[in-house]
Amino acid sequence: MNYEIHDKTISAIHQCIQNSDRIALFCHIRPDGDTIGSVLGFGWALQAAGKEVQFISQDDIPSQDRLRFEDYVDTSPFQKTPGLFDCSILLDISDIQRAGDYFSKNETCIPDICIDHHSSNIGIARINWIDSEKAATAVIIAKLIPLLGLSFNKKTASALLSGILTDTQGFTTRNTDSETLQIASEMIQHGADLYEITQSVMMAHSFEAGKYWSFGLAKMQRDGKLLWSVLKSEDKEKSGYPGNDDANLINYLSTTEAIQIALLFVEQSPQSVKISWRGRPGVDVASIAKKFGGGGHVLAAGATINQSFESIFQEVLNETKKAIA
């Protein structure tokens, strides 16, 4: 896509940022590597330009599958709720519910800017830059930074490279194109260490995550080209895994041979289940997720249903099977 067609959007973003001293950058709920890397990379670039930046994540930052910002700053820059700000920016957030309580529970509070790469995003802010052709939101931010007159340093480049790495699963997803690789190369030129970031972001996992995986792997089931599993609340407790995510198990399940869709249920509470889909070319899992109030990409999507696992399991399974038939 030619970024010149976004001149009006870039101008509007630039004006909003230029007229603001205090900027709040928001991660989506249950933050992943792309939203974290995008918020850190953009935030650090804005700070270098003299802006006061708030890094907002309503949920706890996961211990793995993201940039180890501890290697770059003394304390976590993230806070759960924003203070006063002049400009709010949502990064990698596909719908207002995923922006967290600050926006989802206050209909009169509309975000100023949303920058995202999810095809299901209909435009949830006053100014929207949505480009579903990009492999990660971090790719868009890497393109945007110089267009806004901002600059890169090692911290900024490392954060953005980590976002690209996680969302492309190490440059292996279908939408990883030559531009993605070119931008990754530029981040390396700005000081990002591809080897170190790959090892810490993509390869490392905790002992507790390994135990958590064991419960999901033991419950794998297959029906033709559909593979599914479930992680229950007691699995998390028994393993000692601290996060609310699946410890990246869904991406491992999706590599199973001869399947079309991998499906993972993660029980968040007795009345809440997070569902993740991963598909192979030829299916559209975002359309399945949309039926359950979720969204995402054609080959990677998710939804959260506020019902018990037992009450929604069969319906989700049946709808997913229809996508393969």
Q: Assign 3-state DSSP to the chain and report helix, strand, coil percentages, each to 5.
A: 40, 20, 40
Q: How many CB atoms lie within 10 A of CB 180?
A: 21
- Decide: 40 and 77 in contact? Cβ < 8 Å: yes
Question: Using 50, 70 and 90 to split pLDDT, how confident is the model at 297?
Answer: confident
Question: How confident is the model over 97-121, as pLDDT tens digits?
Answer: 999 999 988 888 999 999 999 988 9
CA–CA separation, 279 and 226 (whole Å): 10
- CATH 3.10.310.30, the chain: domain bounds: 207-324
- Check pLDDT > 60 for residue 61: yes
Quick one: how far is CA 170 from the chain centroid? 14
- Check pLDDT > 60 for residue 2: no
- Decide: 55 and 238 in contact? Cβ < 8 Å: no
CA–CA separation, 151 and 147 (whole Å): 10
CA–CA separation, 67 and 306 (whole Å): 30
Please tell me the pTM assigned to this model. 0.83
Name the DSSP class of 254.
T
- Check pLDDT > 60 for residue 140: yes
Tell me the mean pLDDT in the region 241-245: 88
Question: Using 50, 70 and 90 to split pLDDT, how confident is the model at 285?
Answer: very high
Tell me the mean pLDDT in the region 218-234: 97
- Check pLDDT > 50 for residue 5: no
Tell me the mean pLDDT in the region 11-26: 97
Q: How many CB atoms lie within 10 A of CB 314?
A: 9
- Check pLDDT > 50 for residue 6: yes
Task: Say what the pLDDT of residue 244 is.
Answer: 84
Q: Which residues contact 63 (CB under 8 A, 6 or more apart)?
A: 206, 242, 243
Question: How confident is the model over 35-52, as pLDDT tens digits?
Answer: 999 999 999 999 999 999
- Decide: 279 and 300 in contact? Cβ < 8 Å: yes
Task: Locate 211 and state its tokens.
Answer: 């135990």
- Decide: 137 and 117 in contact? Cβ < 8 Å: yes
Integer angstrom CA distances of residue 202 from 156, 194, 198: 18, 11, 5
Amino acid at 139: V
Q: What is the architecture, at CATH level 2, of domain 3-202?
A: Alpha-Beta Complex (3.90)
CA–CA separation, 28 and 182 (whole Å): 27
Task: Say what the pLDDT of residue 7 is.
Answer: 82
- Decide: 161 and 190 in contact? Cβ < 8 Å: no
Question: Using 50, 70 and 90 to split pLDDT, how confident is the model at 3?
Answer: very low
- CATH 3.90.1640.10, the chain: domain bounds: 3-202
Amino acid at 199: Q
Tell me the mean pLDDT in the region 249-269: 96
Task: Locate 172 and state its tokens.
Answer: 């292996």
Name the DSSP class of 60.
P
Question: What number does CATH give the domain 207-324?
Answer: 3.10.310.30
Question: Using 50, 70 and 90 to split pLDDT, how confident is the model at 1?
Answer: very low
Integer angstrom CA distances of residue 46 from 22, 34, 245: 10, 18, 29
- Decide: 181 and 170 in contact? Cβ < 8 Å: no
